[in-house]
Structure 1
């Protein structure tokens, strides 16, 4: 169970798959019936303006889910991100740099617009608090973004503010999620293979036992076409469409085999997965092992975590655990800190109330003021190894989340630009924010003043 950079997929979305597994389509709707065990589920998607979500949109969906988790599962469902930061998280950054026409910024904008436009209707297939329910929603309910004057094109200054549907937010907050290995997904060469991987990884998880993925399953080919949201595709075309993807997933050590059998309407497709324990081991980083060993987490447990989550995510979770444990924020008496740390890494949503960097507590009367660490001390250490672009992105992310209700999307754009271009120093600006942490509205006034933006 994860977040970027070791990420989550919401289990309803993973099991139902609401993104068509084709690279391009003009379709404005689809209507299918799928089976979740013995449960028959009817799903409809209607998107007459921008067409149905497809292809790379699945990766954008995963990004939005994990940004919601990273930003603390806000009750209003509103998240703020930059287009350039989104491309970094998606692994599209280098590609974007090579595309002088801004093609990948365009893909991101159209994907968000498809999720805002697409209306999903699910009958007896959305699981909520252990019961099957009906659901109807737009994944993105509201969408705001900035562009150059007179342009509708995303660029490296674009700031995006959007609201996710309450259905998905409530599910994420309840912890109804599964791991998503985005490092592996990004290693796949073809967009269609990445889409199929996400569908397969959702299909092999039993919602009743999400920690025990299936080693194999067999499905009727027509039913699988519905699951991939390509209803009506001819069987021979479907076989050809996924042939290269099957080959790549076998070569990458995810699938052991993908085999078709039968004739006519009885054609089935059997998937055999390489068990997690048999997949090639990801080398453990020395500093990661040291961080976990400090709390007596064994090498085997760290290796299991590393197979599911990315290095940066695990490193940051271990560091945050240490700070929170030593501050007494994880309970007065923890009998098994090793087990707690593993749970802290696997299930971050259970600890979402803890912020990434907390301002220091006020000293007690018996505690000398000099013994209280300044937030700048730990921030300076954290920012020391970052490039300016990385520091600007991190500072903006932390400041924008609490200020999203007090600054307009245009004002957030101006803040992001000032941090990236050096008009505002990322570290000093973040230090200043912690001095205002309990008064976000007052800090919004200060930010406008520093940016030279008129007060409302």
Structure 2
């Protein structure tokens, strides 16, 4: 696919071998002595994948959050213009943002551990590392690391502070694996919408989403059928073999896929989430025992929505992604922003609807029920006529300082004097019409550093 340099950080980058081979175990926890695994599995028309994972220095195999870190590093590499040396240079707050976690000392430590684990893990792929050229596939066997080198630079007023990793200003330099960089340079990549990705609530659903996206790209179909046992194997839903032993020529611990019923239970919350957001239209099982298959029917791909930010104004109040996309197409950004502002004003005034999503949709589709009174004085008459007004009538919303301050009341910029100064400028820009309601609502959802960066960007653009 062609490179799209105009893309902002709304789009993350997927290297397609990482998506197809799935080098990270989906489990949140693994035994301390699971220091490797080997899988030979076939899930698509491109053939068998044989991949072995080997860790060193006593590390367990990459799992859980490590998959999000891999995706974050690839996205950061793209955001920085694909440096030819393969190095990603970020501070910890940036990296937290790319991973989709709120910056904190605990988060820094988790990401630090993840980076160390990836640095100390080697993968062996046998005739299944692919690149597509002019409609033809080229397959290679190779050994690769996701991270080739890792460096940290910390600053502080004392030697102890400077040595203490975990501050937000800790700079990280990560050199990605040569094979991954080469694949990206050859454009064996795919875009992933970050707003959609970060709405997914746990590692397994995010790995499944990335796997399904890749399979949909491979087949260009509306469904994807795969044996449940193969899917469990591919996602890394495995455990150490109770009989012990080692396997493969790389002498990794012998593992086995968990029982079919446990695979289904593990997948259930992921399926529910992808169905609710509209990415999947249906999930069905056929067959029994080891011959069971799961059939995924794809729904509306929320990534094709042109205006993800506007969709987010609705989904944050419980409107499903598919329904939100339909409403945006039907009413347009300006109308969505106007009604979202009215809705936010009602909530700020203390109103607590039983069904937020339902009320918001009604305000969009039945505006006459929520109309502001229109007063007229016909010539020679003092009679006042009004349009119908719903019992739950919203107050008129003005583009004034009070409205702006209400929308920004929870913004992280309030935490510092510098942030408050930036807020004042943003309020002034809003009142003058240089930035819009959606911009302010988006700011209120960001962490402090991201809000500062976004606020400065809005002011420059205005």
**Category of TM-score, reference length = shorter chain:** 0.5 to 0.7
* Aligned partner of residue 60 in structure 2, secondary structure: coil
Q: 1 CA distance for matches of 2:308 and 2:127?
A: 43
Of 215, 219, 226, 2:222 maps to: 215
Using CA pairs under 8 Å that are at least 6 residues apart, name the structure with larger relative contact order, 1 or 2. Answer: 1
* Aligned partner of residue 145 in structure 1, secondary structure: strand
Aligned position for 1:109:
112
Aligned position for 1:192:
204
Render the CA deviation track for 1:45-97: whole Å, top value 9, x for unaligned: 1114321111121211111112112222222211211011111232212xx35
Aligned position for 1:92:
101
The Cα shift of 1:162 comes to 1.4
Q: 2 CA distance for matches of 1:280 and 1:165?
A: 33
Q: Identify the range of structure 1 (277-286 vs 148-157) with the bigger mean alpha-carbon deviation.
A: 277-286
* Aligned partner of residue 167 in structure 2, secondary structure: coil
The two structures have a TM-score, normalised by structure 2, of 0.57
Of 263, 276, 293, 1:251 maps to: 276
Say if 2:49 is the partner of 1:44.
no
Contact kept, 8 Å, 2:64 with 2:203, in 1: the verdict is yes
The Cα shift of 1:279 comes to 8.4
Q: 2 CA distance for matches of 1:50 and 1:205?
A: 34
Could you say if the C-alpha distance between residues 284 and 105 of structure 1 is closer, same or farther in structure 2, counting changes exceeding 3 Å? closer
The two structures have a TM-score, normalised by structure 1, of 0.58
Contact kept, 8 Å, 1:14 with 1:203, in 2: the verdict is no
Aligned position for 1:136:
143
* Aligned partner of residue 151 in structure 2, secondary structure: strand
Aligned position for 2:71:
62
The Cα shift of 1:5 comes to 2.4
Could you say if the C-alpha distance between residues 152 and 203 of structure 1 is closer, same or farther in structure 2, counting changes exceeding 3 Å? farther
Aligned position for 1:237:
262
Q: 2 CA distance for matches of 1:176 and 1:276?
A: 21
Contact kept, 8 Å, 1:146 with 1:154, in 2: the verdict is no
* Aligned partner of residue 23 in structure 1, secondary structure: coil
Render the CA deviation track for 1:228-270: whole Å, top value 9, x for unaligned: 0224211111111111111111111111122222122211111
Unaligned runs of 5+ in 1: 287-299, 307-380, 395-426, 428-456
Aligned position for 1:172:
184
* Aligned partner of residue 204 in structure 1, secondary structure: helix
Q: 1 CA distance for matches of 2:205 and 2:71?
A: 15
Q: 2 CA distance for matches of 1:120 and 1:154?
A: 29
Aligned residues: 297
Render the CA deviation track for 1:91-123: whole Å, top value 9, x for unaligned: 212xx35xxxx1111111111111111101000
Aligned position for 2:342:
none
Q: 2 CA distance for matches of 1:53 and 1:3?
A: 29
Unaligned runs of 5+ in 2: 2-6, 239-256, 312-325, 333-433, 455-459
RMSD after superposition: 3.7
Say if 2:87 is the partner of 1:78.
yes
Contact kept, 8 Å, 1:29 with 1:45, in 2: the verdict is yes
Aligned position for 1:23:
28
